[in-house]
Structures are given as structure tokens and as C-alpha cells.
Structure 1
């Protein structure tokens, strides 16, 4: 609480209902962008290439290596159509992210967008969903590192015992490879964002290269007859498979967390988000077409690691498994690096607003990164990945992610109606149809998730509400303003131009 503010000093705060609806003006967010508790700003060093690779790195993961065995039996040869449909569904939210990222170029992503449009209450819920999406999902992804490390070592006749390579509950005690990957990513992020971005770019290039290598080999065994009949399971099967593969697109929003480290965020953030969607969708469709062309669709039923199996059968070379195992480890490392980066930047924004402890908002003068926050988040994620059976909590990340997507679509509609004067570097096409469809698509996918996942998510939200009342409500900087100061702030900040921070 800022005791320099008379209202804060006297303990006068708005009612709960009024506080939950208090919005933070966009001009205020822009003026505070790059600021921190330590007074050191973030370093603007990212161009459109690095921003695009952040989103591709967070999206293009290990799922494509195994998802065909689960989704092809649902759609048959039309699985590539399912990837197109899922990509279009993700695109509905991606274009909304692109508009908001250009309009509100700050590090808070959908948390900040919600704060500017729907108020503090919805912003906190969104921020807490992002904690679930980023921190828990990165731990869940890292858990798979042990399996792929063992597959790599198997080529040399070596392996790690289950006790140190499997997650707790699956025969493991401490998942050492998972913890090592998270810690390495944490150390890299602490050293500097620019170095992390270039290493991520190199890893993404390798990941894409491995998948293109698969396509090149698979097309040598291409049989057009494998696509007949195209829809053996009907349109319903294609839709079911589209829902299954939709979650392979989650992660495109990672670039939006780099709003304060982009050289030209208003121009480059929308470009990076859209370009990453084009790259990921193209690769997914190309891999699906190559795989079906190489093997009949019935072959995929029950087949694990289908891509590796196809390459092994075509080439007869055992080193293929080694190449893909290494690729899978790199895919995990890239996801951990980019998603951990996004988590620290979101928590920096929440700390700046008083919704999280100040330690998350301190930026090192030497490295230009939130060192303390990165260490805390990194150690916490490493411990979760190595010691905690994540189970249903990891599954609940789907709801949190979809909820955040839905809020961004709503934010676009709100600002188009209430702030049509703002200059937008990117505009959602076919407004308002696109954001409405994006919201409905997210709601549909959320409804179709299992009851156990919803229960777990509900418990997570109850914990978040308790933290808000225990910390956020009492320390919110926007809520610390008197009614008069808040009105003056919102009046001065109606301009899209930055304004001086009123409560620093």
C-alpha cells in the first residue's frame, strides 16, 4: 500500500464490488511499461524474429511426435483437415491477441488486457489462470524429459533408473532430468533475455528441421490411395479429432508477454503472433499429410511415437529413434525456456500493480532481467517437476488457458465499443464476428472437458481467491487511490498517449 496517498494512509478503500470493477487505464500501463521496483527497466532487444520464435518455441512441442496415434483413429485420412480446423479455431483467438498486443504493448499479456477492460477482479482471475497455464504446464512438460533422455541413452546401451527418471507416482522418486532442464532454463533467463531468445531461436530451427526431415523421408513412400476414403469416420470424427489436436496450438500467446522487451512492440507483436500461427499450422498439416501418405490410417491405431515408427520402417535405420529422441528433448527445453520466460514477465506486471509481492518486480541493473522473480519461479517449477505428481492439475491448465483466450476476445469487443478512437496497429478482421466466434469456441472446448478437470480447476481458483483477499485486495495500487484520484487518473488516461505514473 502506498502511504503517500492520503486515502491509503487513512485506510480508505473502495468497497469490494467497486474495487473488483476498477480498471487500469491503457495509458497508465504504457507509461509504466519497463518500470520496476528497483527502478531498472527491461531491455528492449527483441525483433520480430525473436518474438516469433518465442511463440513457435512455446507452441511446437513434443505433442506432434505422439498425437497422431491418438487423433488419426478419430478422423481417418482427414486428420490434416482436423489440424486446419483446429488452427482456424486457434486463429480466432490469435487475431484478438494480435490486436490487443499492439494496443497494450506491456508484459502482462491477457492479465493486463483484462485489467484495462473488465477490472481488477477479472484481471486477478485471468492472472491466476496464467499462473496455472504457465507454471504448471511447464512443469508437466518437463516431466517427460526423463523418458526421452532414456531413449537417447538407449542408443549407447545406457539408461537412467526409474527412480531418477520417472515422475512421482509412476515408479519415480525424483525426476532429475526434468529438474535439470528447468534449472538450466532458469539460469539462462537470469543471464539475459537476449541470449535466451537467440538460444531458443536455434532450438526452434532444429525442431522444425527434424520435422521437415520426417516429411522428406515420408514422402518417398507416399501412396495417394491411403487418402481413400477421405472421411471414413464422417464429419463428426473430423470434429472430434480437431478438439483433440487443438491443444497442440496452445502457446502462441507467449510473444505477448514480451511487450516491454520488443524494439517496436506495436508493429512487431501482432506480426509475430500471426506469423507463428502460420508456421505452426503449416508444419502440423504437412506432417499429417506426409504421415498418412506413408501409412494407411488404420496403422496408427494404438501406435505410439508414430513418426519414429514410420521413419524406422522406411529407412530401416535404428539411429532414427536417436534423432527424434534428441529432438524431443530439445522441444521440451524450448517450451520450458519460453514458457518460464512468459511466467516471470506476467508476475512482474502483477507485482507492479501490487497484486503480487514486490520481489517479482525487481529488475537487475546488471542483466536487465527480473533475477529474483526468475529464481523463485524457476526453483518452484523445478521442484514441482521433480517431486510433485501433477496429474489432474496439469490437465486443468486447458481450462485456464481457454478462459484467458476467451477474456482476450471479450477485451477486443469492449475496447472497440468503448475506445474506438485508439490507434490500432492491427485490427481483428470481420469484427465483431471473429471475437464472438473465438469466445464461443473457447467456451465450447471448456464445456467438453471432463468433470475431474473442472473440479481440480475449481479448487485452484478457490486458492487464488484466498490469495487475492489475503494479499492482492490489500496491496492493489489502483485500489489505494481515492475516488477523486482514481477519477483524475482515468480522465487523464483516456488518451492513448502515455501518462505519468500516479502511484509509483
Structure 2
């Protein structure tokens, strides 16, 4: 069956082909939606593979550029006074980053969270997580760049209205048009289309300048430090530290964009862990030092009065008005890199999803001189630009965060399930073609050693079913314990008997369930290149903390999440699942060979001639 132009654009050659697939929806849901799958062949699905041009330094700069944005400069005094919150949040971000690192090294393909969840839990959960994530990333990119004009106004001693154009629509609606934000979105989109290496170079230069400014701000602030200002270390107690962590954790969101660069990394096995874990570590140190600096500069009672722009207010308090301009420059650099890397990560996620036809496959097109996913970059760039032009920062910021935490939670859940209940190639132990390929050294890396073969085992169907039921029950108990702990934390009166009982029971259920998972469910699969340490405790704690942070979000955020998720489910039932299933009917006739995840190694993507699509 030869694919038509219509099929390559929207996933179907005709309306009749769509209705035929829709009639098979029951079969699709029972046989494919929850069956682990591996990423599609990039050459076959995108026209050509993306170039492997990124090294460890580029990846570290991508992570820092995304995380070290303007937010740290405008955080409230309450957050910065709560020093332990930054440390706790940094540790929790590191837990999620370990999970992402394991998946990214084992499956170095575009798509990020979508690819990892699909490889462990199937395309339905992957679609729900990433459809929310794409929407939120586009909003976050628009929100970030919308902050450019206010800081530029402060730097040039102008009012914010100098750079914002007010326009009244015919129906009387007043819009605050930010053409600077609109223009920056388009410029950064063009840069990303021009080339990944060029974009990484630009991001690297700006990020290094940003880090230098941050270090300068820390040193300048410490000149005015008084140790007595930071006493006591836990002004709001242990509970206050965790509440503060739930607020500042969102400053660490962005390391997952590094995982989206897996397909363009020269040596994924070595560079991805360094990029993901290295960027989180550096940002954690910088955030903590900045919080310490503020706490030492200003007495706590005055610091708590800063409702925003704590650094600018702190330097003004200390008689260093000139330093506020340095803060503005640092914020501008952070805004640019945050938006650039956010748009980069979004386009790679869109590419990965489009390769499986969950969204129109033309979005996965890779081409041009630099072999970039230019259509995905252009469409999400224009979307962010229009949102940034029309919507104020506060309206956009209020809608960002819940989807990222949900994705982090599902990735940690998927890591446990993949290790416990599959053989590592997404087939749950019953797929043909399980021979492991040698992991040869990447070109130009003479010192690299071949990766060991993955440790996996095959179980009889009955034994596999019992293992899956046991694992599912323990995962349910782990998350139930975390949820009970969260509910007690949020709704119980501090110091009450109800709080003590709820926290004790919730924590106890979590600990006992994780211990049972450790003792009773030995891994079926161990990744050959890189493994998240302290399994299964690390992913279990990561799940628990993401549940805890999700529990801190407000009612409005949850309402928006459920409304959008409902729309995503409808889209999956009416289009995505049918298009993905239709893709299989084409590929089964041409390239039926199955290939394990271990063959997705550095340097092989462009030459691979086998079908990498893994289905049940």
C-alpha cells in the first residue's frame, strides 16, 4: 500500500479509510492503546533524521537556560526567607531528573515524555500527558517572553506602557498588545529553524553571560550580608520548608527539555545524564546561594514584606540602586533563554507525537539545510507569538504547571512498570525480535566502551499476569499513601491529632508498599547503559512528591486540567487512536521487522533501515 499525499499530511488517504478505522475503535482500545510501543523510525516518519550535533556542554546550557529564568529575580520575600524550600525543591527536581535520564539514555529519540510513557504504558496515557504538556509549554513560552517588556522598560527608565500598545476591539474588549514579545517569538523560531547547533551556540553564550551575572549578584549581595538576618534557619518550621518547596519547585521545571534533545545528542549514553543531572545540580546551587544572599542582606521582617521583585528591593534597601539594573539585565537574559529552550523542547515533543500519527504527521517533517523539524517549530512559534501579543503575563502564568507535574508523575510510574513488567522493548515480554544489538562506540569517540547487554527475562503468560497485578496493586498503594499524606498535610490543622494520624498512616502505607515492591517484584529489565539509582525507592519518592505538589494546586487549575484532558480524550477517540492504528496497516506491509530499544544508539538513527515501531 503506497502512502498518498493525504496520508502523509493527515494520516488517512481518504474519508472512507478514516471511517473504516473508526469502526475498529473497540479493537484499537483493547489491543493498542495500552500496549507499550517504541518510537517510529525517524527517517521513515520525518523524511530524514535530525543531526547529532549536541555535546554535554550544550545540554547543560539548555537545562540551565530553561530553568534559570527571570522567576528567581521576582520571587516573593516569603519564598526567599524560607531557605530550606529551595534545597528541598532541588532534591525533588533531582529525583525526577534521574527518571528522565534513564529513559533518555535507553531510548534516545525525539518526543521526550511522550516517548518514555508510550514505551512503558502505551500511547493513551502518553497522549494524555503530552497533549496537556504541549498546551502548557506553549502557554509557558508566551508567559515567559511576555515578561521582556516590563524588564526592558525598567532597564531604559521607561514605564511599561511605553512598550505596550493598548487597543480596543470593536466589541469594546481592551487588549494590551505586546509587539516586543510577538517579535521575539518569531525571531527565536527562525533561529531554531536555522539550525540546532546555531541555536545551542546562541543559548550557550547567553546562558554563560546570565550565570556570570547571577554570580556577580550573589557576590555583590554578600558584601552587605549579616549572619544574624538568617536566624533561625527554619523560620516557618519543617512544614513551612515543604510548603515553600511546593512554590519554588516550578522554578526547576525545564530539565525535561534536555531529554527532548536525545535524538540530536552526539553520545546519548554519556552526555544525556551529564546534561540533565548537571544542569539541575548547577541550578540548585545557584538558587540556594541566591536565596541565602537575600536572607543575609535584609532582616527577615523586612524581607517578608517584599511581595515581588525581591532582589531589586533588597539592593535598594541596601543602598545599591545601581545593582537593580544588573538584575534587570539578568532577568532579560533569562527570559530569552527560557523562551528559546522552551520552544525547542516543544517542537521536539510535537515531532515525536506526530511520528506516531497521534497528531497530523506533516508536523513531524524534518528538512532544510540544518535538518530541523521546521513545521513544528513554526506552528508552535506562531502560536506562542499570538498568545504573547494578546494575553497579559498574569493570565498566562496562572494556567502553567499542573501538566508538567502530571507528566513527571507518569514518567516515574512508567519507569517502575517498564522495569518490573516488560522486557525493555515495550512488548511486555511477548514480542518477537528480542535479540540485543551491540552498542557500538559513537563516531569520533574512540574511548567509548560498548554497553552491556540489557538484563531481562521472559515469563510465562500466567506468571507475567500475576506479576503485573502485584505491581499494579503496589503502585496503587504507593500513590494512595502519598495522596493520604498530602490530604492530611493540606487540610488538617497544624499540630492536630488528625494531622498526626493522617500523616503517619499515609507515610506508613507509602513506606511499606515501596518496601514490598523492592522485596517482592524483582526487575524483569535493567537498562544496559544507565540506570536511575536506588531503584525502586527513587522513582517511588519522585511519584510521591509529584502527588504532594499536585495537591498544593488550586481548584481553578484542576478544573482547567480536567476540561482540557476531556478534550484530549475526545481527540484521541475520534482521531489520534484511529490515525495511529491506520499507520500500522501501512507499515505492516512494508517493514515488519521489530528492533529493541537498545538499537537506538548514537550515530545509528540516520542509517537504520529497520522498522522501529513496536506494537503488541
Aligned pair in 2 of structure 1 residues 55, 477: CA closer, same or farther (>3 Å)? farther
1:71 aligns with 2:79: yes
2:563 — aligned with what? 459
Q: Distance in 1 between matches of 2:173 and 2:212?
A: 32
Gap runs ≥5 in structure 2: 1-10, 424-454, 457-525, 601-608
Q: Please say if residues 207 and 330 of structure 1, whose CA atoms lie closer than 8 Å, have aligned partners that are also in contact.
A: yes
Pair 1:113 & 2:126 matched? no
**In structure 2, which of residues 2, 21, 30 is the aligned counterpart of residue 17 of structure 1?**
30
Partner of 1:254: 257
Q: Which runs of 5+ in 1 are unaligned?
A: none
CA distance in 2, matches of 1:104, 1:390: 36
Alignment match, 1:337: 340
Q: Partner residue of 1:133?
A: 136
Q: 1:87, 1:217 → 2: CA distance?
A: 24
Q: Which residue of 2 aligns with 1:265?
A: 268
1:217 is matched with 220
Q: What's the counterpart of residue 611 of structure 2?
A: 501
Equivalence for 1:374: 377
Moved more, 273-282 or 233-242: 233-242
Residue matched to 2:314: 310
Q: Deviations over 1:285-328 (max 9, x none)?
A: 11111111111111112323121232344453x43222221221
Aligned residue number for residue 58 of structure 2:
50
Alpha-carbon distance in structure 2 between the residues aligned to 1:111 and 1:232: 40
Aligned equivalents of 1:503 and 1:425: distance in 2? 21
C-alpha distance 248-319 of structure 1, shift in aligned 2 (>3 A): same
Match of 2:41 among 32, 40, 51: 32
Q: Report the alpha carbon displacement of residue 81 of structure 1 after superposing the two structures with TM.
A: 1.7
1: CA distance, partners of 2:398 / 2:195: 31
Separation in 2 of the partners of 1:18 and 1:308? 57
Distance in 2 separating the partners of 1:391 and 1:166: 18
* Other-structure match for 2:576: 472
Secondary structure of the residue aligned to 1:173 is: strand
How far 1:48 moved relative to its partner?
0.4
Distance 1:402 1:174 in 2: 31
User: SS at the partner of 2:187?
Assistant: helix
Distance between the aligned counterparts of 2:612 and 2:66, measured in 1? 35
Kept in 2: contact 1:24–1:478 (CA 8 A)? no
Per-residue CA distance 1:371-424 (angstroms, 9 max, x = gap) = 222111111110011113575664343110001101111121122212343543
Q: State the alpha-carbon separation in 2 of the partners of residues 171 and 85 from structure 1.
A: 42
- Retained in 2: the 8 A contact 1:163–1:172? no
Residues 276-287 of structure 1 correspond to what in structure 2 (within 5 A)?
A: 276-287=279-290
Residue 367 to residue 260, structure 1, CA distance change in 2 (3 Å): same
Partner deviation per Cα, 1:62-82 (whole Å, 9 max, x = no partner): 11102142414xxx4xx2221
Greater displacement, 319-328 / 124-133: 319-328
* 1:35 CA displacement: 5.2
Aligned-residue offset at 1:283: 0.2
1:402-449 Cα deviation digits (max 9, x unpaired): 011011111211222123435432211111011011011111111221
Following the alignment from structure 1 to structure 2, what is the Cα–Cα distance between the partners of residues 150 and 495? 50
Could you say which residue in structure 2 is the equivalent of 1:104?
107
| Structure 1 pair 173–81 and aligned structure 2 pair: CA distance change class (3 A) | closer
Residue 238 (structure 2) aligns with: 235
How far the C-alpha of 1:481 sits from its partner, in A, is: 4.0
SS at match of 1:457: helix
Distance 1:401 1:503, change over 3 A: closer
- Which structure has the highest helix share of the two? 1
Counterpart contact for 1:33–1:260, Cα < 8 Å = no
Task: Check the 8 A contact 1:40/1:365 in 2, yes or no.
Answer: no
The verdict on how the C-alpha distance between 1:414 and 1:392 changes in structure 2, with shifts beyond 3 A counting, is farther
> Which secondary structure state, in structure 2, belongs to the residue aligned with residue 221 of structure 1?
coil
SS at 1:355 equivalent: coil
Rg (Cα) greater in structure: 2
Instruction: Tell me the distance in 1 between the aligned counterparts of 2:28 and 2:581.
Output: 15
- Is 1:444 aligned to 2:541, yes or no? no
Q: Which residue of 1 aligns with 2:538?
A: 434
CA distance in 1, matches of 2:537, 2:173: 46
Q: Which has the higher contact order (CA 8 A, sep 6+)?
A: 1
Q: In the alignment, is the contact (CA less than 8 A) between 2:96 and 2:542 conserved in 1?
A: yes
Q: 2:352 aligns with which of 328, 342, 349?
A: 349
1:90 partnered with 2:93: yes
Give the Cα separation in 2 of the matches to 1:216 and 1:390.
31
C-alpha distance in 1 between matches for 2:333 and 2:173: 23
Aligned match of 1:397:
400
**Count of residues paired in the alignment:** 486
- The counterpart of 2:594, out of the listed 471, 492, 498, is 492
Q: Distance in 1 between matches of 2:340 and 2:59?
A: 13
1:411 to 406, 409, 414: 414
Moved more, 232-241 or 184-193: 232-241
| Residues 401 and 34 of structure 1: CA distance in aligned 2, closer, same or farther (over 3 Å) | farther
